[in-house]
A and B are shown apart, each in its own frame.
Chain A
Amino acid sequence: MGRYSVFARGFFRERGRRDRTVVVVDPRETTTTKLADLHLQIEPNKDYELISALRAVLNGHELNGDRIAGIPVDTIYEVVETCKKAQFGELFFGMGVTMSRGKHRIIDNAINLIIDLNAYTKFGLMPMRGHYNVNGFNQVLSWLTGYPYAVDFSRGYPRYNPGETSTIDLLVRGEVDVMMNIAADPGAHFPQKAIEHIAKIPVISVEPHQTPTTELSNIVIPTAFTGVEVSGVAYRMDGVPLELKKVVEPPEGVLPDEEVFKIMRKKIEEML
């Protein structure tokens, strides 16, 4: 928030925070909701309803009832007016949205909300990224294969069909027979059925730390920390690539991820 979003003083927003309006949608009270201009304390799993209500108002309809998704209708009218009057708005969303009831259909509805808002002003939407280089992977995979994630090379050419070629589905259906896990922790975040399959098959972890997933692994290959112990490029969540710095030396003998994959490719080439 300090560097980019709320407090930063920019060319068009000289006064920083005072030149910006912050609306937070969250069922709970958090430090973020406390500094917001408006906190929409939504009922859990009512994201879709709220977005639909915002779109309805935006398209000139009246809302029936006093509250929608737990939020007073007057507040909803107010938010729509605020958004319409903005010079440049951005909707940020995180796992709370993608994981609550409706999942990607909520995003679908949100995209339509942004399209509707663009009839009045410039408005965008951006997923909040947990890991720092989620976007980078989607970029690199896209320029190598044309698809952003869930790519299946098993037929010798890239195929992309989320639901069929996506990790969780493949694990739940028990279709993959070896997993190499790279600096992620499915053991802590995946649904139970997926983890049960991970426990059954050979697992390789390329990972600097002990995690629930390394506990399920057969091989652990530690690597140096990019951005702390090795340099490299990462994509910011808005698509800007930045060079990460090396600040300190890695522990003695520990290799960077890139090096590990290079050696592995060479060995694979010899075996094939």
Chain B
Amino acid sequence: MVKIVKDVVCPFCGCLCDDLEIMVEDGHIVGTRNACRIGHAKFMHFEGAVRYTEPLIREDKKEDFKKTDYDTAIEEAARLLVDSKLPLLYGFSSISCEAQREGILLGEDIGAIVDNTATV
């Protein structure tokens, strides 16, 4: 059965259109209403693009990735950041404010540079 979720805010561009209707069937998005072409395409295909569902790791960038678990991946990331002289945290523009806050405080903990896409 298709369920319609109303008044969805579109999380793809800064307009944040808040009148979208998303059709969901069996936990999958099958259609949208009121979205522009970009918004529609993103909602429909966000599952289609190559999506990572498990953390990946490699020592040397020339090697292939190996699958790992969250604990190991986050632990190794933390170690790289702690050992770094001047780490850079960049991006932040496609995550929620709650997550941005945690990320910025993390940057403060390790004395990093914290910057987002507005810098470009």
Contact = CB atoms under 8 A, between A and B. Distances in A.
Contact of B65 (A151, A220, A233): A220
A101 interface: no
The interface residues of chain B, by DSSP majority, are classed as mixed
B11 A218 contact: no
Interface in A93-124: none
A244 interface: yes
A221 B77 CA distance: 9
B24 to A, nearest CB: 6
A267 B78 contact: yes
Given A178-B81, A257-B96, A154 B15 contact: no
Contact of B16 (A156, A218, A234): A234
Interface stretch (A35-43, A46-54, A79-87, A180-188): A180-188
A133 B113 contact: no
B81 to A, nearest CB: 6
B52 A210 contact: yes
Contacts of A170: 86, 88, 113
Interface in B105-119: 105-119
B53 A264 contact: no
Interface string A243-268: 11101110111111110111111011
A2 B13 CA distance: 14
A230 B28 CA distance: 14
Given A3-B15, A219-B76, A269-B109, A258 B54 contact: no
A151 B90 CA distance: 11
A216 B61 CA distance: 7
B11 A182 contact: no
Interface stretch (A17-25, A55-63, A64-72, A138-146): A138-146
Contacts of B104: 140-141, 144-145, 151
Contact of A131 (B13, B59, B89, B115): B13
Nearest to A269: B109
Contacts of B98: 232-233, 258
A208 to B, nearest CB: 6
A101 to B, nearest CB: 16
B48 to A, nearest CB: 10
Contacts of B103: 182, 257, 261
A209 interface: yes
Contacts of A202: 80, 84
Interface of A: 1-4, 128-141, 144-145, 148-156, 158, 162, 165-168, 170-171, 175-184, 186, 189-190, 199, 202, 204, 206-210, 214, 216-223, 225-228, 230-237, 241-245, 247-249, 251-258, 260-265, 267-269, 271-272
Nearest 5 Cβ contacts at the A-B interface: A232-B96, A129-B14, A227-B11, A184-B91, A131-B93
